Amino acid sequence: MTKEQKKKQYATTILNRKARHEYHIFDTMVSGIELKGSEVKSIRLGKASLNESYAIVHRGEVWLENMQISAYEHNHAEQLDPKRSRKLLLNRGEIEKLRLKLQQKGLTLVPLKAFFNSRGILKIELGLAKGKKLHDKRESMKERDAERQLQNLKKQY
C-alpha cells in the first residue's frame, strides 16, 4: 500500500461546524475515545456527527455526551445506543487541568473534530470554549463575509 492510499484510508474527518460559530475557543487538546463493537467501522463510513455534543468531567473521568454514531448495517451481533456516553482517554494530569478550567464561570468542553491519526486510531479534538453572544456571532459573520469578498476580488485580478 502506498503512502497516498494510506492517507485516503484514514482521511475520514468528522467536523463540528457549529462549534466555532457558537463558541469562542480558548484552548484545544486531542484525546482518544473508547468505542465498542462496530462503531469504528461506522465512523470510517462517515456515519457519525458531533453536532450538539459536549464533554463533561465526572468522577475523575472525561465523558463525551450526545455524539451520534449510527449503527453499522452489517453488524447483527449487538445493538448499541447511537447517542450513548463515551469515555475519553486522557491522563490524570490533563483531566485535573480541565476540571480546574471548567470551574471558571461559563466555560465548557466542546468536541471540534474527530479524525484518524496516522496509525488509524480515532482521536477527538476538544476545545475549551465560552458561548458567544448574538452580537459576537454577527461580528464573526461580517468578518467572514468581508474575507470572502476580498478573496473573490483577488481571484478577479
Q: Long-range contacts: 101-108, Cβ < 8 Å, 24+?
A: 101/27, 101/128, 102/57, 102/128, 106/130, 106/131, 107/26, 108/23, 108/54
Distance separating alpha carbons of residues 139 and 133, to the nearest angstrom: 10
Domains of the chain: 3-156 (2.40.280.10)
Three-class SS of residue 24?
Answer: strand
Please name the residues in contact with 2: beta carbons below 8 A apart, sequence gap of 6 or more: none
Residues 78-131 pLDDT 10s: 777 778 889 999 999 999 988 988 887 778 899 999 999 888 889 999 999 888
pLDDT band at 11 (very low <50, low <70, confident <90, very high): low
Which three cell numbers, joined as nine digits, stand for 49? 456527527
Sign of CA dihedral 60, 104, 83, 53: negative
Residues 133-150 pLDDT 10s: 877 778 888 888 899 998
Residues comprising the chain, all counted: 157
Maximum pairwise Cα distance, the chain: 59
Instruction: State the CB neighbour count (10 A cutoff) for residue 29.
Output: 15
Residues 31-81 pLDDT 10s: 999 988 778 888 888 888 898 899 999 998 999 999 888 887 777 677 777
pTM: 0.75
